[in-house]
Amino acid sequence: MNFTIQNVLIAADESYTTTDVHIIEGKIAAIAPNLNIIGTVIDGSNKLLLPGFFNAHTHSSEMWQRGIMSALPLELWLAELYDFAPLDTEQVYLSALGTAVETLMSGGTSVVDHLVLIPGQELETIACAVRAYREVGIRAFVAPLIQDESLTAGIPNGESTPTHEPFFRSTAATLEMMETAIKQFHHPETGVNILVAPTGIQLCTDGLFEGCIELSDRYNICRHSHLLETKAQAKLAEEKYGCSAVTHLKQIGYLSDRTSLAHCVWLDDADIAILAETQSTVVHNPLSNLRLGSGIAPILKYCQAGVNVSFGCDGASSNDSQDLLEAIKIGSILHNVTDFDYRHWITPRKAVEMAALGGAKGLNMADQLGSLTVGKQADLVLYDLTNLSLLPRTDPIGLLVLGRPSNVVDSAWVNGKQIIANGKVTTINVDELRQELFNRSQWTTQRQSPTVAQIEAHYRQVMGL
């Protein structure tokens, strides 16, 4: 579909300009005032046009446990999550729909789903998420979450030498499953990408990382992982490798300009230099880092070192929301307390650039997405500047990032296809989705995790609590 957006506000240098935009065959064809009309006319008056943001790290199926998870650090929180996470494929499908809609309604046109797989139904799990994302029309980067060590291996040993149950699937079988998934589902031209995504050093052997590197290189796909989300993981890395996790991942060749790393809370200056040198991307997930007590990632240090940074919501039960604008706001102003030199702070314009172009860079797509540039694909969001939460009129991007914007997305396009119009998703019936999520769940409060009861004493001991 070809169309012309008329009289729309876009950011220019330190100010704004009112202009027209031509979209032809899914790409931005021209940006200039008073363009001739091509195709459908979209009235951009009193609206702000921005490139679509990236929800650069989430776990869609966690939606089924949002609001109920206990106040626990990650290692114990995961034990509770998995005790109560028996999912079916229909739930995977519905929660991917919900994740896509919430991301779109908060300015995101791309989502990186570090997808938790149902044991024994791995390919069906991926198929259900892919089906959901294609139906909604969001650009999807599905990163099947893989590991080859059992949950207790993610906690430092300390003085003890615990034995861990072997993981139910071999490293070789996991890599074979991943290759099948790549062949079956990786179709960037239709807006669905597959990433290799070992969960992190805490639950993965070098064999799994090395197999993922090989798949990534052979199929030219991106890599994604958690990295040093918690202090426990930093301790575990020293036990496992005798060096930092970042040094180890560099040694085995996992870090690259096609590698995005979620969290990166417990890195030192030497680690940060390695990320800059390897051109790896950090995905900042401020809300889950606060919710789980993981810490505050040194984002200002990353920015000063030239490391690319993007934003993620993280899973909907470690943040309990997929509101990308909320993650961008907290992820910007949180760091005003980590560095008293206010010249280092993240401005609203910088935050928007991180959310859009930073996300595109982390997925090796900066030449195609992430900015309003002629020739790039039309993944665009139009914001209604007459909305009460964006008034009175001051700086539109300042209002969007620093305010509490709600229901402000007027329209959104992915690859030139409109999927939000007049503030409503046009591709699926959101009322039906709400009803399905309601009907398949029930109010609940108290529950006890047997696995947390088993491992909590050891966790507290090794963490000195």
Q: What is the pLDDT of residues 309-338, one digit of tens each?
A: 999 999 999 999 999 999 999 999 999 999
Query: Which pLDDT band holds residue 86 (cuts at 50, 70, 90)?
Result: confident
How much of the chain, in percent, has pLDDT values that exceed 70?
100
**Which conformational region is residue 255 in: left (phi greater than 0), alpha (psi within -120 to 50 degrees), or beta?**
beta
For residue 198, cis peptide bond before it (omega within 30 degrees of 0): no
Q: What pLDDT digit, counting tens, does each position of 133-148 carry?
A: 999 999 999 999 999 9
> What residues have CB less than 8 Å from 8, skipping those under 6 apart?
18, 19, 20, 21, 44, 45, 47, 48, 49, 382
Q: Are 55 and 110 in contact (CB under 8 A)?
A: yes
For the record, the structure tokens of 336 come out as 């005003």
Q: What pLDDT digit, counting tens, does each position of 343-367 carry?
A: 999 999 999 999 999 999 999 999 9
Q: What pLDDT digit, counting tens, does each position of 369-419 carry?
A: 999 999 999 999 999 999 999 999 999 999 999 999 999 999 999 999 999
Number of Cα atoms under 13 Å in the Cβ half of residue 23 = 23
Query: At residue 161, does pLDDT exceed 90?
Result: no
Output the pLDDT for position 217: 98
Output the pLDDT for position 132: 98
| pTM attached to this predicted model | 0.97
Query: Which pLDDT band holds residue 150 (cuts at 50, 70, 90)?
Result: confident
Q: What pLDDT digit, counting tens, does each position of 236-266 carry?
A: 999 999 999 999 999 999 999 999 999 999 9
How much of the chain, in percent, has pLDDT values that exceed 90?
94
CA Rg value for the chain: 22
Q: What pLDDT digit, counting tens, does each position of 269-298 carry?
A: 999 999 999 999 999 999 999 999 999 999
How buried is residue 255: exposed, middle or buried, by Cβ count under 10 Å (0-12/13-18/19+)?
Answer: buried
> What residues have CB less than 8 Å from 340, skipping those under 6 apart?
none
d(CA 3, CA 321): 33
